[in-house]
Structure 1
Amino acid sequence: MKKKCTTTTVWLTVMKITGLQIFLTLLLMSTALAGSSAQEMLDRRISISFDNVQLGTALNRLSEVAKVPITYNSTVLPRSQMVSQQFQNKSVAEVLTQLLHPLGITYVVVDDQLILRKQKSLLPTTILKQATSETSQSELRIEGTVTDEKGEELPGVSIVLKGTSRGTTTDAAGRFELTVPDASAVLIFSFVGYLPQETTVGNQTQLNIKLQSDTKALEEVVVVGYGTQKKANLTGAVATVDFSKQAETRPITSLSSGLAGLAAGLYVNQGNGRPGGDGATLRIRGQGTLNNSDPLVIIDGAVGNMNHLNPQDVESISVLKDAASAAIYGSRAANGVILITTKKGKEGEFKVNYNSFFSTAKPSNVVRTMSNYANYMELMNEGFRNSDPNATPIFSQEKIDLWRANEGGDPLKYPNTEWTDEVFKPNLIQNHNLSFSGGTSTIRYFGSFGYLDNPGIIEKAGYERYSLRLNLEADIKPWLTLGTLLNGMVARTDIGTNILNDVFSFAGASTPGMVLRAPDGRFGGPNNPEDDPQANNVLHNLYSRQGDIRQNKLTTRLFGKLRPFEGLTIEGSYNYVFDDRLQYQQPVFNDRWDLLTNTISRTGVGRTSIMNQNNKDYQYWMDGIIRYDKTFGERLTMNVMVGASQEYYKGIWFNASKLDLIDPSLSVIDAATMDAAANGNASDWTMRSYFGRINLSLDDKYLFEANLRRDGTSRFAAGNSRWGMFPSFSAGWRVSEESFFDLSWMPTLKLRASYGSLGNNAVGNYEYQAVYNAANYILNNNLNVGFAQTALSNAGLTWESTYITNVGVDFGLFNNRLDGSIDVFSKRTKNILIDLPAPLVVGNASIPKQNAAEVLNQGIELNLSYRNRLGDFNYQIGGNFSFVDNTVTKFKGDERTISGASLLQEGYAINTLYILGVDRIIQTEADLALVQSMIDNAPVDPNTGQKRNPFAAYGTPRMGDLLYKDTNGDGIINDEDRYTTGHGTAPRIGYGINLSADWKGIDFSLLVQGSGGLQVIWQDLYHTTGVRWGYQINQEIAEGRWYPGRTDATYPRLLNYTDARNTRNSDFWLQNRSFMRLKNIQLGYTVPRSLTEKAKISTLRVYGSLENYLTFTRYKGFDPEVSGTQYPTLKQALVGINLTF
């Protein structure tokens, strides 16, 4: 990329943060830091009382009031122990001592939580001293460190010599020392929240132990709408993705494309690999409407665009798939909801992380066109001659012989150009991310700076992005928390990306007898005067304009949490998003040369011009929430949440242009002198919502949840149609918690079911209103300006409504090493907005959309994960699978809507393929005899009494032509013989497979993505037997075409492109776009801490990775995810480094 976003540009953008936001940020930091140094976790003073409650309940209340996470195994606490005590202005340490010490329970502080454990008969450190003093000379002294899966030290880990009471614990740095009798000694390492591990000492004196998380013990928390829930208590269908590790080790430049293969029921289609525009299309449980099917994306509580995020800022992602989980978002949740949580600071020491990768990229596949120009000219003549034997050859034999005689000669004079080799150039993508995080007992912070430079694989089409983030949360008082989330992005896109999708069409309309660009920089035209002088030069097209698109985006969120008394929390937030995009472009005139004669074949002359376009989008979002949690006795727990929100969106755009620049180097509007033009418009809409949720848990076994949301939007007319109500209900039963359930091999089993309704307001902002256009009319011989109604209003226009039934089971087997879930669902969308035929009485005015169609999606989803360890070798393998069947159940009765090869009709999938069948390519005399028999046995026309011509519609087939099937058996080949393939243009099957393993610092991972049940008619400029002057010819078709004497052709004969007998939509051109792709494979190594700690480096990891490197498919296009001729997806090879200080 020639131009770079300067540092000044970045900081000017950052300075756009308002004075109020800066003031509040500084206020939070100064207020919190003022008291943080003197208030550590155990010194916090609280007042709390317990009146005859169980010890576990007392500890839960203490955790909430003191804001101290307390973790323990259920076997640590005596179940029958009741507590009745009062504490006034006591420290947390004093409260814990009085509650726990008499029961023989102690605790240890680890990072940001208190971990409870039973006291030993002798303190481990005492045992160690006694053992040390009494050891004989034959005993071994062992030392080492214990870390978690990420290499972070674990203090407080219990190490016990198996079969004895001898042991110790790790210190604050995760280190330990212990003496053992001999090399056969076995040490047991255990820690709350992690799986126990046994290690034989052998001849080792230094042990480096890595403990694996016990997800059951940690009681995984899942982000849901407006809150979190324990995964064990979820009753809805929610898929979670730990995205942090994905982003740190893969070349993910857009967040949406990085989700492929990671969640069951989430279809991810990366439609192109264009820099800055490589975001994927996302579908949750298929396409449920005929309109916008994009899911709602919520980022840290507010609607946002995930592709504007720095992927490395993301912590986790939740996919809400059923009504129970998504109904809290009401009118915009019909297509599912994706919740994105960015990284936050945690209490603990200050950490700095640097992650960087460099990758090289090239197309995942290329479609070859003919590069031998002499052969190309012969085939062009052949195609025109096949359609008309009397046609004059396009190219003379003299030119064909000239090129053939000079094959291997001067490539500038006699080119044989394969355009993909000239246009696609490997390039270096680089990504850098620097972040810091940490916190004290009263303030937690996370900040990051990211930089991405993606020049792409095509010239003049690069993308560059800077990103900044600050997430800050502070406890101003024990009952008050304030915070802010700030995110800024500055991006620059080369203007060439605007025409990238056209590039492939341009390349199709080209010829191999052309030099794209000479070494001296000149652009070529056809070197043959018999060729089309208008044939495109792809590079010339890319360099035909200059300019860029600059985007500055600022997202801010201010929030507060008030806890007036135990159990009650009041929250509020204000969100503001400003997105400013400025586009500048002007034409560049370059000559095109005939490099054979060294003359200009096409002069680059035209009127200079300049265009500026500015788009500004504003988003305001306010919400308030009240939460109340209450435990009744020891059995029933209730969580209630009610809230309200107000949203406002506004978009403004303005475009100005002028002609005849005084000097092309002056890139401002005022430097042009003629034909000024300006256009502009604005659009806005608003929504108000009221919502609530109640969760009930009885005995931690019987679960119930109800959600209700009421939305009103300006997109519909005032009255009943403006407001929608969206309820949902769900229930769950944790069967494995029942006393009668005693299957040791299945420790976890939960059944759940849900039903509810969701809405879709994804329509135009003013669809329900009438439209009036200005027009001239004559009155009294005078020209007057008036207004005519060109579109009728529809005050009854309202929401699309989706009703979802979901039944699921969650299970864990073999000590929860194998866990998974199965979901079966039915999703019916009613009142879908469609265009119906206008009655004649309305004249030329168009009628608005009507709520008149229905679509049904039904399917099943499966998710499995298995993890285990063999000594120092840890491994995990997982997979997900989903199947969705789609049917239009209501649409204009029996009427068909046919668009190209697609059919829309009741009883079929959306855009079901509706095409002709092909019997064979006519290649033999027997094939011709079959054609003649069809003519001889043709039915008689009752009106004329004459035999009908069975091939009148498409022409009588000859040698080398396709013979279409008489599908309906009437003896005539025409459009009535089209049939449905049973497949739509959306996939029915999606799956992902993931594998990871690590051993002594070496780690390996693999991700496979797949899709099935997707078919497409692919017959464009790169895949057709219709030849055209100045256009390419597909190499595969050239080699497989029929020609006289051939009987094994795989393609029909070449014809003039205007002769469509062989290029109609038929199953001959049907392509299966099912695929299985090795999405990512990587190998990494974490350098031992002993080698890096002197440099103050706590973690140093280097890794190599391959992205999109292998794809298994029968599809013959650029890529099975890319429709037609788009910018192909990229396969990348990268190296990276991750440092933590």
Structure 2
Amino acid sequence: MKNKLLRVIIMCSIYSMVGLVVQTMLLTVLLASPNYAQKGKSVKEIYLTLRLKNADLQTVIQEIEDQTDFYFSYDLKHLDSRRLFTFNSRKISLNKVLQELAKQGSLNIRRINNAIDLKKASERNRGLEEIMTPVQDVVVSGKVTSGENGEPLPGVSILQKGTTKGTSTDFEGRYSLRVPEDAILQFSFIGYQTKEVTVGNQTTINVVLPLDMAELEEVVVVGYGVQKKENLTGAVEVISNEQIENRQSPTVSQLLQGQSPGLTFSVNNNGFQPGANVGIDIRGIGSLNGGEPYVIIDGIPGDMNRLNPEDIESISVLKDAAASAIYGARAPFGVILITTKSGTANQKITATYSGSVSFASPQRLPEMLDSHTHARVLNEAGVHGRGGQPYSNEVIDRIVAYQEGDFDYLKQFTVPDAIYYETMPRPNGTWGFNQNGNANYDWFDEYYGNALNQKHNLSFQGGGQKTSFYFSAGYLGQEGVLNYGTDTYERVNVMGKVKTKITDWWDFSYQPRFMKSNRVIPNMDKQGSYDLIFHQIARTMPSNAKYDGYGNIMIQSKIPWVDNGGTDNIEVTENWQTFSTELRPLKGWKVNADFAYKSVDYFRSDQELTVYDHLVDKSTIPSGNTVPSNIQQYHQSNSYWTSNIYSSYSLTIKEQHNFMLLGGMQFEVNKGRSLDVIKNNILVQDVLSLQTATGEPAATESLSHWATQGFFGRFTYDFKGKYLVEANVRRDGTSRFREGNRWGFFPSFSVGWNVHEEPFWKGLNKIVNTLKFRGSWGELGNQNVTAYQDLALIPLRSSALNWIFDYGQTRPVGYTGTPSLVSPDLTWETVSTKNVGIDAGFFKNKLKVNFDVFERETSNMIGPSEAQPGVLGASLPQANNATLRTRGWELAVRWSQTLNNQLTYYITTSLYDSRAVVTKYLNPTGTLSSWYEGREQGEIWGYTVNDLYRSQEEVDAYTEEMDLTAIWGGTWRPGDVKYEDTNGDGAVNNGSYTVDDHGDLSIIGNSTPHYQYGISAGVNFKGFDFSMLWQGTAKRDLYFNGDQNMYWGFRTWNQSSLFPEHLDYYRDQEGDKYIGVAMGADNLNTDAFWPRPYIHNGENNKNRIASTRYLANGAYLRLQNVQLGYNLPETFLNKLSLQKLRVYASGENLFTITKLPKGIDPVAINSTRGVGKTYGADRIISLGLTVTY
């Protein structure tokens, strides 16, 4: 069935492309003409075919230029552009056409060879003059200045019209160019109106270019086109290149933190390791089954984290359904549109180099207790927790001696030729470790240090009259901050973009893009997970030795695992080829088509090598958990094709009614294949290959494919830019569902009102110069579900059943399992979004305010099926039967101002919040361990705890009247947590653990980040620029489970992670050299924050059930970036023949303000190893420069 849909999509695409080619050929025939101007011919001898009705002057001129070799020179603002002309002739002389233009348009027309110059004339002077003379070359020079302030304009493009011959102005706005006398010079510069001047007998031509206000109007990239920001009716945020350039974050996702309200971020187990990606959500959680924004790069879906940030021109974030609906099934939770840099026509070639060197260091590493304190504290916990003292008095004496440098004392315990005294021999011939070591290490300081990173980018761009190009190559090299092992990330990006005008009405562009990355991670304890390294370091005792008596590195330090236990190598190669074309058959009509192919090759080689431990007799033995060695290779290849074909038509009636109609189709095909092979017993560890491993290979293979097809349309209308209407429709089909459920229809509608365009607003314009109200509604489908849920898959398994089937077999017997049940009705999740927004500008737009309120409801979410009899014999399929509603708001305020034409500054703030509530879910019993109707995302259920037991009398009195067996059936002691009986039934428990019967549990907090904000500010003054970016979360509750020793400190004796903040624990006994924090009565601490510690998990866990007392505050404020730069002045650049030279210093993640303990990054708190075991963001200091030649 899926193959049938694939064939249909491919055939439709072939037909569409063939149709496009045929259309192009027909247009070429229709629009071409054999009547070309010939050198030396009079206009009376040149004939045209003109069929124009009520055409303006520009249209007539364009038609003449298309059919002849003539080019015109004129200043439209000095001509009567309202005059309309009508011609209807298969053969009309150019002389007659020009005479008619001169007569009706009151023009003086002068033809000099192939140049025709138009000027406004009085009735007496109007007419046609024709001059044909031998053309002489002349040298023309002059100066180009700005019409805004009279300043010289460097880099202005000057072209001889109709040729590629040209030059550009220098830093003083001057130029010189040899051209024929009859040449017309075109002066063009970004942000200014293009001007044309006929050379004639002039040798000095000075030009003043006026500002092009239409071009300066802010436009926003939206789905399949651009729109003026003033006319937008959807919720769209634009992030410019200036906001992210020269940042040292390796991926685009990291650069977006704090840049736009409504963007939320998360990390996986790998945290902020080199090259790590950051997960992004737009306006919170979209579905219980997950959902992420649809990323479009230059019109084609892609992975923004594989893109070189230096190639980005702008980023548009489409937040509501009205803005993203045209992308359909792939975009239910917003769209991120990335536009890369391009060359500019009529621009001389420029080369730009940007590079930086960065120094990275850990930002929030915890501080371990010294060995003596650690040992005494654990001993105190051991006395309480059934285990006795982990550290003997003899070992503590050795620890004290080692810390005091008394090595003479230590020599009596070790071998005669020992050179290190961090550990002593044990009777079994091994060296002591853990509680038998006497070293003193802060293992975080030992493992983590500084790293050197570098980034280099080189780009070229430019263009002639018909062709423009952009080419770039970039290299990123990151070192991890681990002092041991290989911890690196490298990425190479190459991108090209060429756009050419085949004719005046036909453009073609080609964009190749290549990326290759390589990530190398140390393998620790036969696992390549980065968070495991952090986990192992956190629970390594400070008394553990790094060196044995002979100076060999101890296996228990974990360093040999990191250094010699193998590596996890991940190579990713991505190759993009994109072809696109645009045709403009008639004024206002565009036809666009693109085709893109992507191949991704993912290769992972994981080597787990045998590591050896050194014994007291100087022999070595393999470490048990590194035997046998093995090598695993995983290769995945993925191919992706996509094409868009669409056409748009724009029409303006009476300069008041503006219409735009767009329609098109898209298809996608994705195919993947993977092979995973593992072999044990590597013979030669210096040659890491499957061929050098002797074990029996175990291999698995997987295949996958999916396809989508969509048809889309858009209609926009505005009346004088005042009243705005937009409608989008999308019909999508996907191969992820069964036939009959594959297609969905998804509409959206939005309106806007530019109040400031109303006559009654004139009096308020000086204060509130722009004010727009907008509203939108739309529905989209979510096809991002697990593939093949519509197929009853039969699992293939193998098992050692030879003892049942005694056939003398040496391999496991293969068999099939019970096929899974499928739902015949599984289909799209439907995402419906409503949005109301206000955009306002005050004091000539110095102050801009944007405010949005939204609601998103995801219905038909995939959830559990109805309950079935227990004798069914198979797991139940999922069904579309759940609903999630998200409501929220976002606010952005920006102030920018220029003072005395020298100092420019800006301040931008943003604030966002949302709450997601399940409104429908199949949970008949209402169990709290699952979703239920009314449950808010992130809610934390727990007990009320006001205090600890402060005395034995208090314990006895409370436990006598209160039933606490549901919490803990053992003994309660002073210093334990005192749980409150909130429902007054004489017992503390969770009832049936359901919504209707939850005992003494209540909702005590919420782990979803709330009130997320960003603050950015910058100033520019005489070449200096300074900027900074802050981001954070104002409210977030966190509860760390009892096994999260990074927060609680104490666990079992060999898994505790003790830091200074953990010393505020309950102590009601005096201390001495071997037990407690302090000596004698100074050890007492009955007003402590933390409960009495144990090294027995059961005893500890009774005090660590979710409660109000130990709810952590996850709010934070982080200085995300600060940057200081200097642009060298023109006088200096002129001497070096440079256009730009900027040097800068930058800092990333300089500090974080939070109440969370060190070691727990408030952004990176989630890990399968335990909360806080994810590596946080590094502090990065960079020095860099940008040079443009």
1:1048 to 1087, 1090, 1094: 1087
Q: Which residue of 1 aligns with 2:17?
A: none
Deviation sequence 1:406-442 (CA, Å, 0-9, x none)? 2142775242111110111101110000001111121
Distance 2:669 2:94 in 1: 47
Q: Which residue of 2 aligns with 1:129?
A: none
Q: How many residues align?
A: 989
C-alpha contact 2:591 2:647 (8 A) present in aligned 1: yes
Deviation sequence 1:128-154 (CA, Å, 0-9, x none)? xxxxxxxxxxxxxx9999999999837
1:386 to 374, 381, 384: 384
2:439 to 382, 403, 415: 415
Q: Which residue of 2 aligns with 1:185?
A: none
* Deviation of the 1:794 alpha carbon: 0.8
Distance 2:717 2:502 in 1: 32
Q: Normalized against structure 2, the TM-score is what?
A: 0.77
1:808 to 834, 837, 853: 837
- Tell me, yes or no, if structure 1 residue 254 matches structure 2 residue 257: no
C-alpha contact 2:354 2:456 (8 A) present in aligned 1: yes
Give the letter aligned to residue 1029 of structure 2. L
Q: Which residue of 2 aligns with 1:1090?
A: 1131
Q: Which residue of 2 aligns with 1:727?
A: 747
Give the letter aligned to residue 333 of structure 2. N
- Tell me, yes or no, if structure 1 residue 986 matches structure 2 residue 1003: no
* Mapping 1:701-1100, distance limit 5 Å: 701-719=722-740, 721-742=741-762, 743-745=764-766, 746-774=768-796, 787-836=816-865, 838-841=867-870, 843-871=872-900, 872-892=902-922, 895-899=925-929, 904-923=931-950, 925=951, 928-938=952-962, 948=963, 953=968, 955-975=970-990, 976-977=998-999, 979-981=1001-1003, 983-1019=1005-1041, 1020-1044=1044-1068, 1045-1058=1084-1097, 1059=1099, 1060-1100=1101-1141
Distance 1:547 1:1032, change over 3 A: same
Give the letter aligned to residue 815 of structure 1. K
Distance 1:565 1:838, change over 3 A: same
Distance 2:302 2:271 in 1: 22
* Mapping 1:392-407, distance limit 5 Å: 392-407=388-403
Distance 1:568 1:438 in 2: 28
Give the letter aligned to residue 740 of structure 1. F
What SS does the aligned partner of 2:585 have? strand
What SS does the aligned partner of 1:328 have? helix
Q: Which residue of 1 aligns with 2:608?
A: 587
* Deviation of the 1:905 alpha carbon: 2.6
* Deviation of the 1:156 alpha carbon: 11
- Tell me, yes or no, if structure 1 residue 1135 matches structure 2 residue 1156: no
C-alpha contact 1:1105 1:1134 (8 A) present in aligned 2: yes
Give the letter aligned to residue 294 of structure 2. L
Give the letter aligned to residue 913 of structure 1. I
What SS does the aligned partner of 1:736 have? helix
* Deviation of the 1:173 alpha carbon: 3.6
* Deviation of the 1:558 alpha carbon: 1.0
* Mapping 1:166-177, distance limit 5 Å: 172-173=169-170, 175=172
Q: Larger deviation: 1022-1031 or 398-407?
A: 1022-1031
Distance 1:734 1:782, change over 3 A: same
C-alpha contact 2:146 2:153 (8 A) present in aligned 1: no
Distance 1:352 1:102 in 2: 48
C-alpha contact 2:553 2:559 (8 A) present in aligned 1: no
Distance 1:831 1:61, change over 3 A: farther
Distance 1:789 1:950, change over 3 A: closer
Distance 2:1045 2:615 in 1: 25
Deviation sequence 1:676-698 (CA, Å, 0-9, x none)? 22211111111111111111122
- Structure 1 consecutive aligned stretches of length 4 or more whose deviation exceeds 6 Å: 45-50, 53-66, 76-80, 85-91, 97-104, 116-119, 142-152, 211-217, 517-521, 775-779, 781-785
Distance 2:251 2:698 in 1: 36
* CA-atom RMSD in angstroms: 4.1
What SS does the aligned partner of 1:431 have? strand
Distance 1:667 1:934, change over 3 A: closer
Distance 2:66 2:850 in 1: 31
- Tell me, yes or no, if structure 1 residue 685 matches structure 2 residue 711: no
Give the letter aligned to residue 887 of structure 1. V
Distance 1:814 1:518, change over 3 A: farther
* Deviation of the 1:577 alpha carbon: 0.8
Give the letter aligned to residue 336 of structure 1. G
* Mapping 1:323-338, distance limit 5 Å: 323-338=321-336
What SS does the aligned partner of 1:1023 have? helix
Distance 2:660 2:549 in 1: 72
Unaligned runs of 5+ in 2: 1-20, 22-36, 38-46, 109-117, 122-142, 159-166, 175-188, 194-208, 408-419, 423-437, 807-812, 991-997, 1069-1083, 1166-1170
- Tell me, yes or no, if structure 1 residue 1126 matches structure 2 residue 1126: no
Deviation sequence 1:219-254 (CA, Å, 0-9, x none)? 111111111111111111111100x22443211210
Distance 1:515 1:47 in 2: 94
* Mapping 1:330-479, distance limit 5 Å: 330-347=328-345, 348-370=347-369, 372-388=370-386, 391-409=387-405, 413=422, 414-458=438-482, 459-479=485-505
Distance 1:735 1:62, change over 3 A: farther
* Deviation of the 1:1007 alpha carbon: 1.0
2:232 to 208, 212, 234: 234
Distance 2:245 2:550 in 1: 42
C-alpha contact 2:682 2:694 (8 A) present in aligned 1: yes
Distance 2:954 2:65 in 1: 85
* Deviation of the 1:658 alpha carbon: 2.3
Distance 1:741 1:952, change over 3 A: closer
Give the letter aligned to residue 938 of structure 2. N
* Deviation of the 1:890 alpha carbon: 1.2
Distance 1:293 1:446 in 2: 34
Give the letter aligned to residue 433 of structure 1. N
- Percent identity of equivalent pairs: 30
Deviation sequence 1:580-634 (CA, Å, 0-9, x none)? 1212232333334579x97868747733432221111111112211222222343
C-alpha contact 1:824 1:860 (8 A) present in aligned 2: yes
What SS does the aligned partner of 2:245 have? helix
Distance 2:48 2:877 in 1: 63
- Tell me, yes or no, if structure 1 residue 562 matches structure 2 residue 583: yes
Distance 2:701 2:1090 in 1: 51
What SS does the aligned partner of 1:405 have? helix
Distance 1:626 1:336 in 2: 24
Distance 1:932 1:277 in 2: 56
Distance 2:119 2:913 in 1: 46
Distance 2:795 2:772 in 1: 60
Deviation sequence 1:443-467 (CA, Å, 0-9, x none)? 1111100001101112422101111
Q: Which residue of 1 aligns with 2:544?
A: 514
Deviation sequence 1:637-680 (CA, Å, 0-9, x none)? 22111111111111111122223334222222222233122211
* Deviation of the 1:708 alpha carbon: 0.6
* Deviation of the 1:958 alpha carbon: 1.4
* Deviation of the 1:1088 alpha carbon: 0.8
Distance 2:866 2:886 in 1: 26
Distance 1:521 1:571, change over 3 A: farther
Deviation sequence 1:1088-1120 (CA, Å, 0-9, x none)? 121122322110000001111021211224310
Distance 2:878 2:890 in 1: 34
* Deviation of the 1:886 alpha carbon: 1.7
Distance 1:866 1:46, change over 3 A: farther
Distance 1:100 1:328, change over 3 A: farther
C-alpha contact 1:790 1:846 (8 A) present in aligned 2: no
Q: Larger deviation: 546-555 or 644-653?
A: 546-555
* Deviation of the 1:873 alpha carbon: 0.8
